[in-house]
Chain A
Amino acid sequence: MKQNLYNYILGIADNSLILGQRMGELCGHGPSLETDIACTNISLDLFGQVRSYFQYASKLAGDGRTEDDIAMLRQEREYVNVLLVEQPNTDFAYTIARHFLFDVYHLLFLTELEKSKDLTLSAIAKKCIKEVRYHERFTSDWMKRLGDGTAESKAKIQEAINDLWTYTDELFHQTKADKAMVAEGIGVDVTKLKDAYYEKVNEVLTEATLETPESKYFQKGGKKGIHTEHMGYLLAELQYMQRAYPNMEW
């Protein structure tokens, strides 16, 4: 099996999986019907992406592991999403800030992945870009509404951005699989996305009349499977049925 490619796909897909799970939590609890529909729709997009990636990974594994086995039956230490996406829905400001900080990266990443020599990954990226472009527009618009809305909303979204800032740097860390795939022309060199990322984030924050945090202290670990304390609870729900009723079809 192409182990590096398999691991590389997990690195991409786990972000969508865990963020999709977080957005799914909000269904029926949004601040307005329109935002509720949007958040559910974004969650739906992300899980659709996850299915494309894991179906491909399942084929590569070739050992009978299904997309669901890969999504729901790993141990916590085997999930390699970035810490950012597993952060909880503390309130709507955190939800939007977390998603915005990921979307800007996600769009830059997919734009590069579309050029991958791996035709399957390139095709998946092409499909996902359309969705993620909308996600980025949605969260950027909300950054502006909350930042330049009321004094209360400004304070809340600024606090969320400040708190989540510490998880942004990890987006640009490379794993062993990343490096191997970059060398083969399959993977994206995320280190090269960093400047464009902070530039875009800064642009939106400025328009939202918010301050770009200056902190240089960052957290990392997700890409190596070392997660925050939130992750176990998220996985408990995600894996509940597969763990409680093993080896069944649904």
Chain B
Amino acid sequence: MSPERKATIMSEEQIKNLEKQFEERIARDEKIEPKDWMPEKYRKTHIRQMSQHAHSEIVGMLPEGNWITRAPSLRRKVALLAKVQDEAGHGLYLYSATETLGISRDEMYEQLHTGKAKYSSIFNYPTITWADMGAIGWLVDGAAIINQVPLCNTSYGPYARAMIRVCKEESFHQRQGFEIMLKLSNGTPEQKEMAQDALNRWWWPALMMLGPTDAESVHTEQSMKWKLKRKSNDDLRQQFIDQTVPQADILGLTIPDPDLKWNEERGSYDFGEINWDEFWQVVKGHGPCNKERMKARVGAWERGEWVRDAAMAYAEKSQERKKKQVI
């Protein structure tokens, strides 16, 4: 056997050994940090999920940003601004955490803008009334929290730490959304109708946010092992429904599902069939606002190019000046 060949075998063994140690660390609930050795697949999977999460925050600013100039009161306007600003902050936080895996923010943007990277499909639905701000906070952020709370204990350190902060703010957003709905529900008949209409439009897309059924979910098994996922999509969905139905009762609103009923035996709600054709249609880029959302993001990026170039040029000049001063 040639020495080169021997070296390769050695390194394969080494890698196996490293992989074994790596899996053991995760099993012991130890955090994996950026400089630690990690399998390439782990790195890639995390880049995919974390950047998708960051993109969702950034694209998610658009449907809510749509109502900032039209918020019905100063108090609501300030709260909405603060909320959308939080989302931008989450995006920034998550992009930075993803960068620790060896990808730049520009590369991630490129993936978003070319459609290579996905973002949460929910943001491809339009926000057509003020009540949609309530429904998004209540339902969309509600579903997001269910998805995200388990991630506070995920194996990759920077992601887990980012999620602790993100979840705190998301839970505030969810309460804020519910409070908008509560006010509408206790308001005039027109306001209550607006709230019901928003619930009708957002309920099913919110259920879809928890992902395809377990039978169709391609990433679940590996993600469970790495603690990127702690519960299956179907379990999370059931948790969301069981938690949300009583909240709708408090609001005096009707969940738009005729098959929804309490199952004493299971201790959970049974619910109707989700329209998965619609889900896949939106995921594949043909939802009501996919094109608008991408146009808005790409447009902002392209319109901002000269601004970013100027900032870079100015920074370089400033550094040159500093160098000269030192000399």
Q: What are the residues of chain B within 8 A of A21 when measuring CB–CB?
A: 69
B272 at the interface (CB under 8 A from A): no
Chain A at the B interface: SS class: helix
B224 to chain A: which residues have CB within 8 Å? none
If over half of B's interface residues share one DSSP class (helix, strand or loop), that class is named, otherwise mixed; here it is helix
Known pairs A37-B89, A250-B130; A68 contacts B74 (CB<8 A) = yes
B38 on interface, CB distance cutoff 8 Å: no
Contact of A152 among B77, B299, B310 (CB under 8 A): B310
The A-B contact count (CB < 8 A) is 139
Asked whether, in the complex, the Cβ of B84 is within 8 Å of the Cβ of A248, the reply is no
In whole Å, how far is A48's beta carbon from the nearest beta carbon of chain B? Answer: 6
A123 close to chain B: CB less than 8 A:
no
A250 touches B73 (CB 8 A): yes
Contact call B71/A241, Cβ cutoff below 8 A: yes
Q: Would you list which residues of chain B between 184 and 203 have a CB under 8 Å from chain A?
A: 184, 187-188, 190-191
**In contact, B72 and A242 (Cβ under 8 angstroms):** yes
Do residues A33 and B91 form an inter-chain contact, with CB atoms below 8 A?
yes
Q: How many residues of A contact B (CB 8 A)?
A: 47
- In the complex, are the beta carbons of B76 and A40 less than 8 A apart? no
Interface string of A85-100 (1 = CB under 8 A from B): 0000001100000000
Within B258-295, the residues touching A (CB, 8 Å) are none
B88 on the A face (CB < 8 A):
yes
Q: Name the contact of B183 in the complex, choosing from A30, A91, A245, A249 (C-beta under 8 A).
A: A249
B64 CB to nearest chain A CB (Å): 8
Identify which of A25, A92, A150, A249 contacts B69 (C-beta below 8 A).
A25
Give which listed residue, B187, B304, B313, contacts A92 with CB less than 8 A: B304
Q: Which of B61, B69, B308 contacts A24 (CB 8 A)?
A: B69
A240 is an interface residue with CB less than 8 A from chain B: yes
The answer to whether the Cβ of A43 comes within 8 Å of any Cβ in the partner chain is: yes
Cα-based distance from A40 to B84 in the complex (angstroms): 8
Contacts of A48 in B (CB 8 A): 78
| A35-64 interface with B by 8 A CB criterion | 35-37, 40-41, 43-44, 47-48, 50-51, 54
Which residues of chain B from 55 to 85 have any CB-CB distance to chain A below 8 Å in the complex?
58, 61-62, 65, 68-78, 81-82, 84-85
Whether a CB of chain A sits under 8 angstroms from the CB of B95 is yes
Interface contact B88-A37, CB-CB below 8 Å: yes
A190 interface contact, C-beta 8 A: no
Listed A/B pairs (15) with beta-carbon separation below 8 Å: A27-B85, A28-B62, A32-B311, A44-B81, A51-B78, A92-B307, A146-B310, A149-B309, A149-B311, A149-B314, A150-B306, A245-B190, A245-B191, A250-B72, A250-B76
Interface pairs A-B: 10 shortest CB-CB = A31-B304, A149-B310, A153-B310, A241-B72, A31-B307, A28-B65, A28-B61, A250-B72, A237-B69, A27-B65
